[in-house]
Amino acid sequence: MDYELTIFLRQAWNDPRLKHNSTGTIVFNGGSIMDLVWVPDLFFTNAKDVKLHMAPKENLLFRIRPNGDVLYSSRLSLVLSCYMSLKKFPMDKQACHLKVESYSYNVEELTLEWWNTSEPVEIDENVTLPQYTIDSIEHYSNVTAYITGDFAFLSVSFNLVRSLGFYVLQAYIPSSLLVALSWLSVWVEISAAPARVALGVTTVLALVTQATWLRSQLPKIAYATETEEWITKGTNASSRNCEDGVSNNNFRRNSGMKARRGMLRRGMTRPQLKRQETQVLTTAELLYSSNEQLDYLCIALQIDRFSRVFLPLAFCIFSIVYWSIYPIPSMSK
């Protein structure tokens, strides 16, 4: 993942060669004079792109005090890489680093220290992030060992907590409503098999579409996230309603075949049914002719009664377990 920063990079050091007799501070705002003065050759180790702001002119500031103290400030736009683990997405915390290091001078020639050790990194209070909240900022300094020697570096870690509001509104609430909508299939008349199956298939397709959209918002990763686990369980619950509708339809058909055989044994003829009365009268016909102990229609009715209680209860238990295992991340004090 990449993130962008616009920063004011301020450096200070003392150069005895730049001592002067002027009573005030000498100020330069870029220009060819910058090529005549030594400056540290710092670079950002995890940067993909670095740009110096040039409007309306170079955003550089160079101050020289009479005792040789130098202040060098520049305004930069950075594109930095940030290694993220999205297994707990969207209840995840991320740490994005900014690392500054000397390119040519080793620790024997150049050391790097924070200017203000108490609060070296300041962020504008009006800056807000759409998907994250800045939990804390950590800074440290250390030495990196290379084949060419040991080089000092300064590093800043931005600890971020993802804002959950967007995903609650776009993923969790809609998927929960779709799962609840699929429960309506067990309240539909058993003889209305097409309506039961169509309702279940529609909710499954809607959940699959939502999962695909959420996956498109993420980089191409090889593991499942917490949101995908939630939607997968919801899809399984909706598919169970489809299976229930299909099995009940099979029970109804078996019961209808038994009913017709029973009527033939009694010498009864099947009544001529109008198209609009077919569903209701067929159910009454099945109930009338079902006089055996093991009746398929009764089994279908019992499955529906059980599902009306079991499916919402199972989803509620899953929700409690899910939010217990994956709690909403809290801000550190």
Of the ranges 166-180, 217-231, 285-299, the best mean pLDDT one: 166-180
Distance CA 332, CA 189 (A): 53
Beta bridge pairs of residue 139: 156
User: Mean pLDDT for the chain?
Assistant: 81
Single-letter amino acid code for the residue at 65: R
Question: Rounded to whole angstroms, how far apart are CA atoms 200 and 237?
Answer: 10
List, in order, residues 6 or more apart from 140 with CB less than 8 Å away: 154, 155, 157
Question: Collapsing DSSP states into helix, strand and coil, what is residue 283?
Answer: helix
Q: Helix axis angle, 226-265 relative to 173-182, nearest 10°?
A: 10
Strands (E), the chain: 2-14, 26-28, 42-44, 47-52, 60-64, 69-81, 93-102, 132-146, 149-162
Q: Residue 51 class from Cβ within 10 Å (0-12 exposed, 13-18 middle, 19+ buried)? A: exposed
Confirm if 125 and 149 have CB atoms less than 8 A apart.
no
Could you tell me the pLDDT band of residue 270, with boundaries at 50, 70 and 90? Answer: very low
What 3-state DSSP class applies to 208?
A: helix
Q: Is the pLDDT of residue 71 over 70?
A: yes
Cβ contacts of residue 255 below 8 Å, gap of 6+? 286, 290, 295, 296, 297, 300
pLDDT class for 126, splitting at 50, 70, 90? confident
Question: Is the whole-model pTM more than 0.85?
Answer: no
Residues 183-192 have pLDDT tens digits of 888 887 766 7
Counting every residue, how long is the chain? 333
| pLDDT tens per residue, range 170-219 | 889 999 999 988 888 888 776 677 777 788 888 888 888 988 888 888 88
Mean pLDDT over 308-312 rounds to 87
- Helix axis angle, 278-289 relative to 226-265, nearest 10°? 70
What pLDDT score was predicted for residue 333? 54
Q: What is the pLDDT of residues 241-263, one digit of tens each?
A: 666 655 655 555 555 444 444 44
195-199, 306-310, 313-317, 324-328: the lowest-pLDDT one? 195-199
